[in-house]
């Protein structure tokens, strides 16, 4: 179940939570152990070995939550991005010690074999609150009644925003529902990579990405170029992902300005990245985008323009 962007609803029918800057997962706990599934259904358990401790207190459950990584006490998607794509068990264990993550659990969809998705949110949350989860690796996302106060507090603390949830709502798997409404302080957008430019003075490094958005007709419209925020490590990871996807020409259905196209290597738009930005220009280009990370938890077909 996904949230719909919009202004924050208020009233007694709604409860409010922090909008965590992380990776959405379903934690499936059974007799076979713990499986962590991304939004695309990909098994990411090996990437987060420190989360196995949930088995100490829970024997059968399906928990919806968000994996976050803290940097200076604030959730950081950039810090989490270093861990999302790790498939090597040894490397994952090393990062679990040096860059640990936490699950912020906010919903419970199954408990001891009983399907809870048709139960109202207040009942599901009550059941979640009764579970014995091992802190600090697992925590429950706090609930607040005063939405405007939480929105102001998250802005002051540099957090992403707030998600309001209708208390009586059922859980609607895979649907972007008006029963959950997200209100963000900063503008974020996921995009597809259609090409890259080398770093000035270091042609072996990626210095900029050429971004695209689905144009509604099966094509890809050019959405701008991002270079800010791409660290050397991120550039190396991007080159590994994009290298096998090279194309002879641009995949865009709209013109790429010569300033952006010069020296570009084109690629199949199969890698999803997230940027922070200051809005859209009249030409449908992202204004001052900043790279945040690769979204290995999303499929290209999920990319859509955020309101």
Q: Which of 31, 53, 32 is nearest to 102 (CA)?
A: 53
Q: Is 19 a catalytic residue?
A: yes
Largest CA distance in the chain: 60
Rg (CA), the chain: 20
User: For residue 255, what pLDDT is reported?
Assistant: 92
81: which 2 tokens? 């991005």
d(CA 12, CA 166): 9
241 near 300, Cβ under 8 Å?
A: no
Q: Which of 109, 110, 135 is nearest to 54 (CA)?
A: 135
User: For residue 232, what pLDDT is reported?
Assistant: 85
- Which of 12, 19, 59, 239 is an active site residue? 19
User: For residue 233, what pLDDT is reported?
Assistant: 84
Could you give the domains of the chain?
1-20+142-184 (3.30.1490.70), 21-140 (3.30.470.30), 187-302 (2.40.50.140)
User: For residue 206, what pLDDT is reported?
Assistant: 92
Q: Which residues pair with 176 in a beta bridge?
A: 2
pTM of the full predicted structure?
Answer: 0.80
User: For residue 306, what pLDDT is reported?
Assistant: 85
Instruction: Please enumerate in sequence order all residues whose Cβ is within 8 A of that of 32, keeping only pairs 6 or more positions apart, or say none.
Output: none
User: For residue 28, what pLDDT is reported?
Assistant: 95
β-pair type (2-5, 176-184): parallel
User: For residue 258, what pLDDT is reported?
Assistant: 93
Q: What is the mean pLDDT of each run of 10 residues along the chain (307 residues)?
A: 93 96 94 91 93 80 95 85 87 92 96 96 96 89 96 92 97 94 92 93 87 93 94 89 95 94 95 92 92 91 88
d(CA 68, CA 75): 6
d(CA 130, CA 64): 15
């Amino acid at each position: 179940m996904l949230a719909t962007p919009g202004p924050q609803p208020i009233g007694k029918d709604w409860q409010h939570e922090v909008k965590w800057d992380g990776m959405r997962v379903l934690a499936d706990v059974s007799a076979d152990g713990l499986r962590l599934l991304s939004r695309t259904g990909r098994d990411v358990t090996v990437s987060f070995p420190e989360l196995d401790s949930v088995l100490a207190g829970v024997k059968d459950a399906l928990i919806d939550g968000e994996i976050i990584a803290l940097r200076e006490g604030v959730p950081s998607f950039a810090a989490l991005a270093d861990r999302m794509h790790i498939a090597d068990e040894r490397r994952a264990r090393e990062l679990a010690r040096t860059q640990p993550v936490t699950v912020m659990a906010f919903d419970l969809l199954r408990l001891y074999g009983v399907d809870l998705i048709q139960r109202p949110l207040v009942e599901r949350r009550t059941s979640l609150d009764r579970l014995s989860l091992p802190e600090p690796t697992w925590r429950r996302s706090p609930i607040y009644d005063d939405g405007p106060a939480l929105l102001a507090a998250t802005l002051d603390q540099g957090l992403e925003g707030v998600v309001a949830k209708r208390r009586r709502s059922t859980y609607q798997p895979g649907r972007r529902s008006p029963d959950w409404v997200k209100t963000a302080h900063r503008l974020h957008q996921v995009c597809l990579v259609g090409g890259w430019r080398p770093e000035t003075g270091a042609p072996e490094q990626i210095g900029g990405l050429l971004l695209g958005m689905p144009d509604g007709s099966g094509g890809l419209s050019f959405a701008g170029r991002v270079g800010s925020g791409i660290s050397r490590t991120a550039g190396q990871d991007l080159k590994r992902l994009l290298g096998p996807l090279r194309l002879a020409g641009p995949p865009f259905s709209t013109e790429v300005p010569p300033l952006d196209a010069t020296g570009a290597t084109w690629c199949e738009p199969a890698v999803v990245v997230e940027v922070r930005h200051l809005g859209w220009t009249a030409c449908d280009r992202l204004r001052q985008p900043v790279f945040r990370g690769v979204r290995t938890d999303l499929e290209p077909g999920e990319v859509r323009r955020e309101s």
